Amino acid sequence: MTAINVTQSTFKSEVVESDIPVLVDFWAEWCGPCKKLSPLLDEIAEEMDGQIKVAKVNVDQERLLGAMFQVMSIPNVMIFSGGEKVDEFVGLVPKQEIVSRVRNHL
C-alpha cells in the first residue's frame, strides 16, 4: 500500500481511528528535505503494508491540521498508535531509524 493523502476531514477516520499505527508526514511542495523523505516513506509503506499505515498532510493545504499539532518546521513526522501521538521527529532521518521508531509501536 502506498502513502495516503489525509485532509482535515479524513484525519480522524484514517489516523485517529486506525487499528494499526499510522506514520503521518507533515510536508509541503516547496520543501527540499520533504522531497527526499517522501520516497523513503513510500518504501516503508510498501514494506510494512498491513503493519502500519503511512499518511501525508500537505501543510500548505491543511493549515489547521498543522496548527493543531504545532508543526513548526517540516518535514515533521508523527507516529500515532491507538489514536494518540506516540513519537515524533523533524527533518530528514535515515530509513532504518524511521523503521526502528515504527517497530517500537507495533
Q: Where in the sequence numbering do the catalytic residues fall? A: 31, 34
Alpha-helical (H) ranges within 1-106 are 8-11, 32-47, 63-68, 95-103
Q: Of 87, 93, 94, 96, nearest to 21 (Cα)?
A: 87
Distance CA 7, CA 14 (A): 9
Orientation angle between helical segments 32-47 and 95-103, nearest 10 degrees: 50
Alpha-helical (H) ranges within 4-94 are 8-11, 32-47, 63-68
